Each structure stands twice: as structure tokens, then as C-alpha cells.
């Protein structure tokens, strides 16, 4: 990463620090993290609105952390260079908060479990990936790390997978994955691209292919 990727570096550092806190937490710290670094509809209704943001920096499993930080570094670094550090940071936080709220709402009203909590940067990263895919739709990405496909096709495939996964969870099945958060973050990315990025780049005479 270049010096212009300071936001991505700081985001990764914060995520690593919170992950280590989970790993070495005593019972009191574990209770604090559970109450303040996980998001659920129940928690929001109890007034813990800050968890919409803090949960975005929270991971309890190493593989979850590694995958999210790898994708953030891969896509976020370029988007930060294109948008600028502060603009990227504002977008990332917005996408993360929208993703957290989306998880809470869908868990309560679609899955039927308002106490279902979630952690992770996946929603904010989904938004980042959608922005990348819309800006550079023909750029090749590796699906599942193996199959090269156009970025926009890959992004839409993951959105479709999340819709399928959420439908399965609504019927009482599916995997313990925050599909609602992914979809909320992706929606934030799409809206941010069309209402904030595309008009300015179009005015500047730039085109993405």
C-alpha cells in the first residue's frame, strides 16, 4: 500500500486490535465486548446505537478477520486512492452503519430472531466491492480466488448468493452468515456510486470500463 492508503491501514489495525481483545478477554471484558461490539435489533432497542459502528470493527474468528482484511486491502486501497482518504473513510463508515442496521432489521423481521447478533466488516467491504465493480466493471477479479471474471459479474453473483442465503435463513435454514449485512452494505455502495461518484466523474469527462 502507498502512503495514500493510510485509512485502509488504520482500519486494518483497528480490526486487528479488537480481534486481539476478543481473544484475550477476561469475563468482564468479554461481557463488555458482547454488549458494545456486536449489533442486533434487541441491542438497538435497548439503546446501544453505537454498535451500528463498533460491530463493523469486531471479529472473533481469525479466518473471518483474515478474509475481510485481505479483501479490504485489495479493493479498498484502490478506492481510497481514487476517492481520497477522507471521502473513502466517510463512505466506509456509512456502508458499515447501513450494513449493521440492515442486519438488525432483517434478523428481526425476516429471519424472526431480533436477538441475533453480528460482528464483522463484511457489510462495509461489500459496499466497497460494489463501488469498485461499478467503477471498473470489466476489471478481472478472481471468483473464490480461482476463476477470473469481470468485476461487475462477480459482485452481482455474490449479491445473488446473499439473497439466496437470506431466503434460506428466513425458512429456518442457511449458514450463520450475515447476509442481511452484506446486502445492506452492497446497497449502500450502489447508491453511493450513482448519487455521489458517478455524477462527478461524468462531469469530469471520465469513464470507467
Q: First CA to last CA across the chain, in angstroms? A: 23
pLDDT in tens, the chain (209 residues): 455 789 999 999 999 999 999 999 999 999 999 999 999 999 999 999 999 999 999 998 999 999 999 999 999 999 999 999 999 999 999 999 999 999 999 999 999 999 999 999 999 999 999 999 999 999 988 766 677 889 999 999 999 999 999 999 998 888 888 999 999 999 999 999 999 998 766 544 454 43
Per-residue pLDDT, 1: 46
Q: Torsion over CA of 184, 150, 203 and 89, rounded to 10 degrees?
A: 40
Q: What does the alpha-carbon distance between residue 152 and residue 198 come to, in Å, rounded to a whole number? A: 15
Cβ neighbours of residue 6 under 8 Å, at least 6 residues apart? 85
Q: pLDDT tens digits for 71-115?
A: 999 999 999 999 999 999 999 999 999 999 999 999 999 999 999
Q: Give CA–CA dist 131/8, Å, rounded.
A: 15
Contact 190, 130 (CB under 8 A): yes
Quote the pTM value. 0.92
Q: What percent of the chain lies above the pLDDT cut of 70?
A: 92
Residue 188, sorted as left (phi over 0), alpha (psi -120 to 50) or beta, turns out to be alpha
Which domains are present in the chain? 3-203 (1.20.1540.10)
Amino acid at each position: 500500500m502507498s502512503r495514500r492508503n493510510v485509512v485502509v491501514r488504520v482500519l486494518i489495525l483497528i480490526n486487528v486490535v479488537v480481534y486481539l481483545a476478543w481473544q484475550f478477554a477476561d469475563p468482564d471484558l468479554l461481557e463488555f465486548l458482547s454488549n458494545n461490539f456486536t449489533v442486533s435489533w434487541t441491542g438497538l432497542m435497548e439503546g446501544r446505537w453505537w454498535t451500528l459502528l463498533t460491530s463493523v470493527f469486531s471479529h472473533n474468528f481469525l479466518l473471518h478477520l483474515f478474509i475481510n482484511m485481505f479483501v479490504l486491502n485489495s479493493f479498498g486501497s484502490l478506492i481510497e486512492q481514487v476517492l481520497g482518504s477522507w471521502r473513502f473513510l466517510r463512505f466506509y463508515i456509512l456502508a458499515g452503519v447501513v450494513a449493521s442496521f440492515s442486519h438488525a432489521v432483517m434478523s428481526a423481521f425476516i429471519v424472526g430472531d431480533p436477538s441475533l447478533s453480528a460482528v464483522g466488516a463484511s457489510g462495509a467491504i461489500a459496499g466497497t466491492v460494489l463501488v469498485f465493480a461499478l467503477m471498473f466493471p470489466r476489471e478481472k477479479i478472481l471468483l473464490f480466488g480461482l476463476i477470473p471474471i469481470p468485476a461487475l459479474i462477480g459482485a452481482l453473483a455474490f449479491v445473488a448468493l446473499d439473497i439466496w442465503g437470506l431466503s434460506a435463513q428466513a425458512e429456518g435454514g442457511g449458514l450463520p452468515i450475515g447476509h442481511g449485512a452484506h446486502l445492506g452494505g452492497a446497497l449502500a455502495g450502489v447508491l453511493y456510486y450513482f448519487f455521489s461518484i458517478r455524477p462527478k466523474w461524468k462531469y469530469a469527462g471520465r469513464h470507467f470500463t
